[in-house]
Amino acid sequence: MASRSRLSQAQAAWLLLTPFLATYALFLVYPFFRGVWISLHDWNLLAVAFNPDAKEFVGTRNYERVMWGKDITWSLFNAPILQTLGLVGLVLSVFLRRMNRLSRFNAIALGIVSVLLVFLPGFHPGEGGRWYDRRFWPTVGNTLVFVAFAVPGVTISALLLAAALNRETRAMGALRTLFFLSQVLSVTVVTLIWQIMFSPRQGLIANITETLGGTPINWLTDQQFAMAAIVIATVWWSLGIAMILFLAGLQDISKDIYEAAALDNARGWKAFWFITLPNLTRTISVVVILQIILHFQVFGQAHLMTQGGPNDSTQVLVRYIYQTGFRDSELGRASAMAVFLFLIMGSFSIIQFVIGREKG
Amino acid sequence: MKYVLLGAAMAAGVATMAPAQEITLGRFFGACEDAGTDTTTSDGEACIIQSIINAADAELDGISINTLPTDWGNYYDQVKAAYAGGTPPDVHVMHRHRVPEFAGLGALAEISGELEGAGIDASDWSPAALDAVSYNGGIYGVPMDFHANLWHVNMDLMEEAGLVMDGKPVLPTSPDELLAHAQQFKDATGQDYLAADFAQFPIGVRVVLALMWQQDANIFTDDGTATINNEAGQNAVTAITQLFDAGLANPQLNYADSQQAFLNGEAGILVNGTWVVDFYTAEAAKEEVGLDNYYVADFPTLFETGATWADSHMWAIPSSLEGEQRAAALKVLAFINDHNIDWARTGHMSVRTSVVESAEYQALPHRDEYTGTAAIARDTPPSARYGAIQDVLNRELQAIWLTDKPVETALADAEIEVQDLLDR
Amino acid sequence: MNRSYYWLVLGISIPAFLWLVPTIWMVSLSFQPNEVLARTTSSTFFGLIPLPFTWDNYAALFTFGQTPWWFLNSIIVAVGMTLGVLFVSTTAGYVLARMEFPFKRTVMVICLIGLMVPEQAVFIPLYTMFAEFGWHNSYHALILPRMAVPIGVFLMMQFFKAIPKDIEEAARLDGVTWLKIFWYVMLPLARPAMMTLAILTFLYAWNDYLWPLVSAQQREYFTITLGLASIQSNFAQSEGLGRVMASGVIASLPVVILFLIFQRYVVQAMTAGGSKG
């Protein structure tokens, strides 16, 4: 034993850390800074590939061209609904905090979201002005709409299923498997299935509608339904992991509480509402934030099912980045958008981290 | 004896192991995995081109061809990514409209000096074909076809609607007549007069472009000024929207759905390209398909001048290709060029004078019905941003017919965005 | 088991069946002749029952198809990525959970920041970087960028933290080296968490679309996700709906089977990992 050279604790630690630090530095840290650097250049994908000097430093112009416009002004009632909602939220957060109905963290979170709601939608082009890139903010909006429907859709159905299936029997196990099954399909299989499902001529949904005497909906080419179609396919696809996480959370709730509650006649829905939900708040917030991060990066569904259409109504941020970079060859602009994506994702991650710290 | 046998076996091994030049080939047109090597009997774009490629692989000594799978939607993104990554395919198909973008950056090989040596007779190409592959005085590819928008006609339905005369469909000569025909058609058959992909793939854009050219207008000028929001643009759009407004056509069908509607006998006319003529001919011959009596017509002139959207498929090789690999790639180009008649079977128009004049070409099904198309073929002025411009138009036009965006607002928005693209 | 339990099972069986319908439909379409599908997709009971029936689509796939090859690529990439992530995450997770060394806090903070960088935000610089290295169209190009996942490190770190210290300390008193403790003592204990991480990574790798789309242009390196996307386009008329659906089934079948075999471990593992994480 003694003859063997022995690593000190620190040496062993660094040795074991090396694989991670190396991949991390090479494939995440470096690319990230490189991305920021690219975003400060006029950088044509093909031109730079053929001539490395073909890029030109342009400072923040890419950001300006993507996110700003000519004669942009701010006013309070540009988007009345959103901004009013924001004002209400702001008042609520102060009021509820005063009344001690909200924790400090939640009050601050609600407050920040509200301020952003009042502030951001207030920007608009003034007289004779315009956004330099008319598609960027609508694209961000579409992504938010997708997230706003997909995340609650997945979370609520996964939660209900988990609560119903939280029993150790053979039948329940089989049903759990069944609901998880679609999660293992690749995104292209999912879009393949749902593209045909939604087809107004060949689709199963249309066939059934017609048999019942209705007129089939043009799901993927009707602006009212295209986003809904993508959300439906997404919920179908990605419910599994959320359900499993909820099942895990449910098992941490002690059986005694339910038994005690049953004595007070709290069963079924009542038990779900008064016991399951309050005991599951942390799991719910983890699931919600993981889903937000996941779905904010949606690409395949929109790219394959609707190609961003009709009329750009399902154009999402990552698809716009991909198009700007690889169809239009404008890596500089695309990288500026990617940095924006990072900022949004980063703020969600911080929230997730803080929630984990506060309650975990 | 044993040694002799061994030596012979080794010699044989060496002979068959002669280093085959592997050529990677990029193309769209869709997959056809069981195309075989008989170039004269395959059907449809995908299988015809694949059979030609398979034949080249089998017949060209010392060359083996590896076809890269590429779907339509991501084709140019992927080719670009491959070029930028330094691994472009040795031979790839492209449209003429992409030449300014790729050749402008020096991505494509200039091959005018090598054509003859490879056995390609450029003088057999029609002047328009030579023009299609030329850029700044150089030749950057081998043209394969002209393809254009046609009107595919269901003659039984047209007959029922009283729109057939002397065995030919009676097609409109003005927007008003278009509406009148469509109404007459609906009254007689209960079906939609016209179908096309207005919802996804930019067939609708190509229809509107054609109608603008028919008024001697264009979406932008050669010097880079967008000219979309004007009377010509509005006339072109309203010629189509009047059909939607009157419920005589459905703007929500995509490519597959509009095609299905036509094949099922639910639409009198389908606006689509030359690439489906042989496919529809084969379908019409089938008992169970709704379409029985199929006819192909030139895109009718609704305004002053005849015009229809057209483009060219061509084959190019990257400028980085050198030596034997380049020679092998040129051989593949020559082989494809030699099989131009086989490719024409799809319905595309040939680029080679000798083929166009051949009896075999003229005897292709329905070929005599759209002889006028070559003369009216048009496209937008060359631009390195062709793809993005088409996308802007597609979005704004979809906004008009799918979401009731006012025509003038949509065209004004399109003009601003196209101008932005031209200015970049 | 009382009566309400059976009502519950029955009640959930209905949505469960609806949940399965799209999959059943895909399988059913894949067994119908293309000529029939070109006209109607609802021959027998909305097309959910494959009548008229044919094996042709599958026969064609196995005779000419690239699907099996793409499938193999997906397996290579997914397994490679899973092993890589497991290696990187267990080593780093263990160190951060159990060992003391200078700059530990700094390393932790740097990892935390890394959690915030989404892959989709760095695919462009990664693309240009790999282009400069000439790495595109290779297995390592598909695998390496996805190995830098701090989330895996955190998952493992949380897990290692929860393991009682006395086992390890006993071993250390016996003079066992750190590396041996890690390998022989801690890793076997970490099996459930590793399983969770492995499954999540495998699924992630299997579904990765954007990165292969920009990195792989040659058939040799197409994954099944990418390959299937390439035959979905509108213009693939020659393929026929039945054939495309058969490709979808072939692409899914092995993972589904794999999942059905391992699902007990998957669910258990995730449950264990979830409650601790």
Residues B33-73 pLDDT 10s: 778 899 998 888 888 999 999 999 999 999 999 888 667 77
CB atoms within 10 A of CB A215: 9
3-state secondary structure of C231: coil
A299, part of any domain: yes
Out of A131, A150, A179, pick the residue that ends a domain: A131
Mean pLDDT value across residues C176-196: 85
CB contacts, 8 Å: A46 with chain B: 80, 83-84, 101-102, 105, 107
Contacts of C239 in chain B (CB under 8 A): 30-32, 46
Examine the domain organization and report whether A159 and A176 are in the same domain: yes
Per-residue pLDDT at A352: 72
Structural domain span for residue A302: 135-359
Q: Is the pLDDT of residue B12 over 50?
A: no
The yes-or-no verdict on residue C92 having pLDDT over 50 is yes
Nearest CB to A221: which of B199, B394, B413?
A: B199
Instruction: Assess if residue A280 is contained within a domain.
Output: yes
More confident residue, C4 or A27: A27
State the CATH number of the domain containing residue A218.
1.10.3720.10
Any domain includes C91: yes
pLDDT at B7 over 60: no
Per-residue confidence (pLDDT) for residue C256, from 0 to 100: 86
User: Higher confidence at residue A114 or residue B196?
Assistant: B196
Looking at residue A2, its pLDDT comes to: 43
Same structural domain, A109 and A221 = no
A:B CB pairs within 8 Å: 85
> A130 has which bridge partners?
A70
How far, in Å, are A128, A202, B261, C173, C233 from residue C33 at the CA level? 59, 15, 20, 70, 20
Query: Any CB–CB contact under 8 A between B26 and chain C?
Result: yes
- Which of C217, C225, C232, C241 would you mutate first to test chain B, the one with the most B CBs within 10 A? C217
d(CA A98, CA A101): 8
Can you give the pLDDT at residue A244? 86
Mean pLDDT of chain B: 91
Query: Would residue A63 count as lying in a domain?
Result: no
pLDDT at residue C1 tops 80: no
Of C65, C131, C230, the CB nearest to B85: C131
Q: Is the pLDDT of residue A91 over 50?
A: yes
Residue B13 has pLDDT above 50, yes or no: no
Q: Indicate if A98 and A199 belong to the same structural domain.
A: no
Test the B interface: residue of A61, A218, A322, A330 with most B CBs within 10 Å: A218
Asked if residues B163 and B186 have their Cβ atoms less than 8 Å apart, the reply is: no
Q: CA nearest A353 in C: which residue?
A: C112
Cβ-defined contact of A218 to B199 (cutoff 8 Å) = yes
B64 and B25 in contact (C-beta within 8 Å)? no
Q: Which chain A residues touch C228 with a CB distance below 8 Å?
A: 186, 188-189, 192
CB contact under 8 A, C228 and A189: yes
Q: C46 and C79 in one domain?
A: no
Are B169 and B304 in a shared domain?
yes
Residue B165 has pLDDT above 50, yes or no: yes
Query: In this structure, are A238 and A171 located in the same domain?
Result: yes
Find the residue in B nearest to C70 (Cα): B69
Give the end of a domain, one of A98, A114, A131.
Answer: A131
Contact A49 B260 (CB under 8 A): no
Residue located via tokens 């073909």: A54
User: Could you read off the pLDDT of B206-238 as tens digits, one per residue?
Assistant: 999 999 999 999 999 988 899 999 999 999 999
Whether B69 and B163 map to the same domain: the answer is no
Q: Domain containing C5: what range?
A: 1-54
The verdict on residue A2 lying in a domain is no
Q: B131 and B158 share a domain?
A: no
If one compares C157 and C267, the residue with the highest pLDDT of the two is C157
Please judge whether B254 and A221 are an interchain contact, meaning their C-beta atoms are less than 8 angstroms apart: yes
| Cis peptide leading into residue A310 (ω within 30°) | yes
Same domain, A87 and A112: yes
Roughly what angle, to the nearest 10 degrees, separates helices C104-115 and A331-359? Answer: 120
State the Cα–Cα distance between residues B236 and B219, nearest whole angstrom: 12
* C38 in A contact zone (CB under 8 Å): no
User: In this predicted model, which residue has the larger pLDDT, C172 or B82?
Assistant: B82
Burial class of B213 by CB neighbour count within 10 A (0 to 12, 13 to 18, 19+): buried
**Could you tell me the residue range of the domain that residue B415 belongs to?**
148-310+376-423
Q: How many domains does chain C have?
A: 2
C256 and C149 belong to one structural domain: yes
pLDDT value at A281 more than 80: yes
Nearest one of B32, B260, C71 to A188, comparing CA atoms: C71
B78 in any annotated domain: yes
Q: What is the mean pLDDT of residues A33-47?
A: 94
Report how many domains make up chain A.
Answer: 2
For this complex, say whether ipTM is above 0.90: no
C49 and C126 belong to one structural domain: no
Alpha-carbon gap: B328 to the closest alpha carbon of chain A (Å): 24
Q: Do B31 and C239 touch (CB under 8 A)?
A: yes
Q: Which residues contact B220 (CB under 8 A, 6 or more apart)?
A: B226, B227, B228, B380, B381, B383, B389, B418, B422
Q: How many other C-beta atoms are found inside a 10 Å radius of the C-beta of residue A234? A: 26
Residue B206 and residue B326 share a domain: no
Q: Which range has the top average pLDDT, A249-258, A285-294, C133-142?
A: C133-142
CATH number for the domain spanning B267: value is: 3.40.190.10
Nearest chain C residue (CA) to A245: C274
Give the mean pLDDT of chain A.
88
B198's tokens: 């207005």
Preferred mutation among C45, C90, C120 to probe A, highest tally of A CBs within 10 A = C120
A92 has a pLDDT exceeding 60? yes
Write the burial class of residue B221 (CB in 10 Å: 0-12 exposed, 13-18 middle, 19+ buried): exposed
C36 lies in the same domain as C84: no
Q: Out of A28, A245, A331, name the one closest to residue C124 (CB).
A: A331
**Which residue, B133, B151, B360, B379, is CA-closest to B274?**
B151
Mutate to test the interface with B, among C214, C237, C247 (most CBs of B within 10 A): C237
Contact C260 A177 (CB under 8 A): yes
Helix ranges restricted to H, chain A: 9-24, 30-39, 45-50, 61-67, 80-98, 104-119, 136-165, 170-181, 187-198, 204-211, 223-251, 255-263, 268-271, 277-279, 281-296, 300-301, 317-322, 331-359
Q: What angle do CA B289, B294, B297 make, to 5 degrees?
A: 145
Question: C234 and C202 in one domain?
Answer: yes
d(CA C186, CA C94): 8
pLDDT given at position A359: 52
Question: pLDDT digits over C18-43, tens only?
Answer: 999 999 999 999 999 988 887 777 87
Nearest neighbour of A309 by CB, restricted to B83, B106, B200:
B200
Which pLDDT score, from 0 to 100, does residue A1 have? 41
- Residue-wise pLDDT for A179-196, tens only, equals 988 888 889 999 999 988
Q: Is residue A122 part of a domain?
A: yes
The confidence score (pLDDT) of residue C275 equals 40
Cβ of A244 within 8 Å of Cβ of C267? The answer is yes
DSSP lists the bridge partners of residue B153 as: B269, B295
Tokens for B350, please give them: 């040939």
Same-domain status, C43 and C116:
no
What pLDDT, on the 0 to 100 scale, is given for residue C236? 46
In chain C, whose CA is at the least distance from the CA of B88? C217
Task: Tell me if B413 and A222 make a contact (CB, 8 A cut-off).
Answer: no
Give me the pLDDT at residue C276, please. 38
By the 10 Å C-beta count (0-12 exposed, 13-18 middle, 19+ buried), A329 is classed as: buried
Tell me if B105 and A46 make a contact (CB, 8 A cut-off). yes
CATH number at residue C81: 1.10.3720.10
User: Is residue A263 one of the residues assigned to a domain?
Assistant: yes
Which residue from A19, A29, A35 is facing C91, i.e. has the nearest CB?
A19
Residues of A in contact with B403 (CB under 8 A): 223, 310-311
C67: chain A residues, CB-CB within 8 Å: none
Residue B14 has pLDDT above 50, yes or no: no
- The verdict on C45 and C68 lying in the same domain is no
Asked if residue C79 and residue C2 are part of one domain, the reply reads no
Check pLDDT > 90 for residue C204.
no
CB within 8 Å: B26 and C233: no
Chain C residues with CB under 8 Å of A180 CB are 259, 263, 266-267
Residue B16's alpha-carbon distances to A86, B10, B23, B396, in angstroms, are 76, 10, 18, 58
Please count the residues of chain C.
277
Split at pLDDT 50, 70, 90, the class of A290 is confident
Decide if A45 and B257 are in contact by the 8 Å CB cutoff: no
Q: Does B84 sit within 8 Å of C217, measured CB to CB?
A: no
Do B197 and B299 have their domain in common? yes
Structure letter (DSSP) for residue B123: G
Q: Is residue B360 part of a domain?
A: yes
Nearest CA in chain B to A324: B388
What is the pLDDT at residue C265? 63
In this structure, the answer to whether residues A78 and A206 fall within a common structural domain is no
Residue C59 in domain: no
Whole-prediction pTM value? 0.90
All residues at 6 or more sequence positions from A346 whose CB lies less than 8 Å from its CB, including other chains = C116, C117
- Domain termination site, one of B358, B373, B388: B373
Percent share of chain A, pLDDT over 90: 39
C264 & C198 share domain: yes
Between A331-359 and C119-133, two packed helices, what is the crossing angle to 10 degrees? 130
**Pair B250, B278 in one domain:** yes
Q: Is the pLDDT of residue B15 over 60?
A: no
Measure in Å the smallest separation between the Cα of A21 and chain B Cα atoms.
Answer: 26
Out of B252, B394, B413, name the one closest to residue A218 (CB): B252
pLDDT-derived band at A100, boundaries 50, 70, 90: confident
**What is the total count of domains within chain B?**
2
Count of all residues that appear for chain A in the document: 360
Kindly report, residue by residue over B341-350, the tens digit of the pLDDT. Answer: 999 999 999 9
Position B254 confidence tier, pLDDT thresholds 50, 70, 90 = confident
In a domain, A14, yes or no: no
pLDDT confidence of residue B158: 96
- Higher-pLDDT residue of A31, C204: A31
* Cβ contact C210–A299 (<8 Å): yes
Of B142, B119, B121, B129, give the one whose Cα is nearest residue B331.
Answer: B119
- The shortest C-alpha distance from C179 to chain A (Å) reads 7
> Is the CB of C219 less than 8 angstroms away from the CB of B45?
no
Does B180 or C42 have the greater pLDDT score?
A: B180
Whether residue A68 lies inside any domain: the answer is no
A223–B402: do the CB atoms touch at under 8 Å? yes
Residue type, B193: Y
Chains in contact with C, where contact means 3 or more Cβ–Cβ distances below 8 Å, are A, B
pLDDT of residue C224: 85
Query: Among A131, A154, A177, which residue terminates a domain?
Result: A131
Residue of A nearest to B78 (CA): A326
What are the b/e assignments for B166-195, b being 16+ CB within 10 Å?
eeebebbeebeebbebbbebbebbebbbbb
Residue with tokens 């979309």: B228
- Those residues whose C-beta lies under 8 Å from the C-beta of residue B304, and which sit 6 or more positions away, are B214, B215, B216
One domain for residues C115 and C48: no
